[in-house]
Amino acid sequence: MPVAWSSFYAERTAGMYSSEIRDILHLTEKPDIISLAGGLPAPELFPVEEFRRAFEWVLSHEGATALQYGPTEGYVPLKQVLAERMAKFGIQSSPDNILITSGSQQALDLLGKLFLNPGDAIVVENPSYLGALQAFNCYQARYVIVPMDENGMRTDVLDEILASQRVKFVYALPNFQNPSGRTMSLERRQHLVRIAEKYGVPIVEDDPYGELRYEGEHLPSLKSLDRSGNVIYLGTFSKILAPGFRLGWVVAPPEVFRWLVLAKQPADLHTCTASQRAFYHVAKDGFLDRHVARIRAVYHERRDTMLRAMERHFPPEVRWTKAEGGLFVWVMLPEGVDSRELLVEAVQEKVAFVPGSAFHADGSGHNTMRLNFSNSTPAQLEEAIERLGRVIRRFLGRVAVPSP
Ligand code: PMP
């Protein structure tokens, strides 16, 4: 008798699904489509030569150790470099409370494993990072959503929420949020840290884009503002060096650190030993600063190209965020428009984006979409936005938008 597989799966699989959007986006892998859908870094910026040299050094000087099992906590010299780098941004840490993870995506999964019983509530911004929602879905999280405005999470609303209910943590993306490109203002950051203190609630601060600022002043991370040890901070090399090696890190209070190590051990024992050693060599002597400056210059130009093209080609009833950094611009179409329908037409015109509803834990946001500017050249961005502008105009001309 063949196994009826679906009757064997755990209940948690109910929250694990591939969205219909993913299916449409499969179409966008064709070479003649310009995809603004992914969140990929520009591959031409990967420091291939530096990595080649670093791996060569590691394999010729410490080859056997680099190919051996290693400690779950991570390679101490790499953690030392990270601690020094974060100190420049006001984050106090030491190798003792930095856990190297297989990308910050793993950190999100470990946090779910550590904190969430089925049905536990966590606070997420609306919209929020899809990969985090997917990670927390596996642990059957219940989402309490907090709206955002141009200054990021509405901390006044959060204050009211926490006055009346217990949540396991607040998941926050203060810098150039994925997907909305918005940045949390300094006042909101201070308020959020005060609220966490007032209610004794943990904050998970996810910060993959903090160094990729193209205009304005750097704002302090929640971790650097926190005096009570309430913030768990997630960092990653994915956007400032390369995502392929899967290297990220968590800075956690010592108590939580111990548990995260116990959560990581059964997941993968440790993150790749050879990569950690190679990253140490690439990151240790100032190369990272020069490299980040180069990435910033390239992405700055791409963002500006996209924003200028949108001014020219998008109709006046469409609004968008002017991301100060990161990889994304967020577009708001008139209420009542469904960007998933727009995507079908956009793909016919050979341009793709991610419909915004995917990022909303409450299923709202049908009129929004996320556009990526890091993974296309300026010429491709011009062309893509012109195509998209054409599709939007045609679509809005045809679709009767209900009055609010
Ligand atoms: N958090 C956010 C907000 C992200 O945008 C991403 C990647 N797109 C991640 C976490 C995961 O990054 P990684 O696992 O590559 O470090």
Cα angle for residues 169, 78, 207 (degrees, 5° grid): 30
Q: Are residues 234 and 336 in the same domain?
A: no
Q: Are residues 103 and 42 in the same domain?
A: no
Would you call 60 helix, strand, or coil by DSSP? Answer: helix
Closest CA to 159 of 131, 208, 196, 128: 196
**Ligand 1 atom with the shortest distance to the CA of 247:** 16
| DSSP one-letter code for 75 | -
Q: Are residues 109 and 255 in the same domain?
A: yes
Closest CA to 132 of 177, 181, 69, 86: 177
Using the mean position of ligand 1's atoms as its centre, give its distance from the Cα of residue 400 in Å: 37
Q: Are residues 387 and 359 in the same domain?
A: yes
Q: Are residues 141 and 75 in the same domain?
A: yes
Q: Are residues 191 and 117 in the same domain?
A: yes
Tell me which residue has tokens 């980040």: 292
Domain count, the chain: 2
**HSE-up of residue 367 (Cα within 13 Å, Cβ side):** 15
Stretches where the chain sits below pLDDT 50 are none
Residue range(s) defining the domain that contains residue 312: 7-46+289-395
Q: Which residue, of 261, 286, 311, is where some domain finishes?
A: 286
Using the mean position of ligand 1's atoms as its centre, give its distance from the Cα of residue 6 in Å: 30
Query: What is the number of other CB atoms lying within 10 angstroms of the CB of residue 181?
Result: 24
Contact status, residue 141 vs residue 111, Cβ threshold 8 Å: no
Give me the CATH number covering residue 382: 3.90.1150.10
Using the mean position of ligand 1's atoms as its centre, give its distance from the Cα of residue 132 in Å: 8
Q: Are residues 219 and 73 in the same domain?
A: yes
In a domain, 21, yes or no: yes
pLDDT of res. 246: 97
Q: Are residues 77 and 224 in the same domain?
A: yes
pLDDT of res. 27: 67
Task: Enter the pTM of the model.
Answer: 0.96
Using the mean position of ligand 1's atoms as its centre, give its distance from the Cα of residue 326 in Å: 12
Q: Are residues 19 and 168 in the same domain?
A: no
In a domain, 51, yes or no: no
CA-closest residue to ligand 1 atom 5 = 178
pLDDT of res. 19: 66
**Ligand 1 atom with the shortest distance to the CA of 177:** 3
Q: Are residues 30 and 138 in the same domain?
A: no
Task: Report the pocket of ligand 1 as residue ranges, CB < 6 Å.
Answer: 39, 103-105, 129, 131, 173, 178, 206, 208, 236, 238, 243, 248
Q: Which residue, of 268, 286, 304, is where some domain finishes?
A: 286
H or E segment and range at residue 232: strand 231-236
pLDDT of res. 403: 54
In a domain, 91, yes or no: yes
Q: Give strand pairing partners of 143.
A: 122
Q: Which residue, of 223, 253, 286, is where some domain finishes?
A: 286
Q: Are residues 267 and 183 in the same domain?
A: yes
Q: Are residues 244 and 322 in the same domain?
A: no
Using the mean position of ligand 1's atoms as its centre, give its distance from the Cα of residue 105 in Å: 6
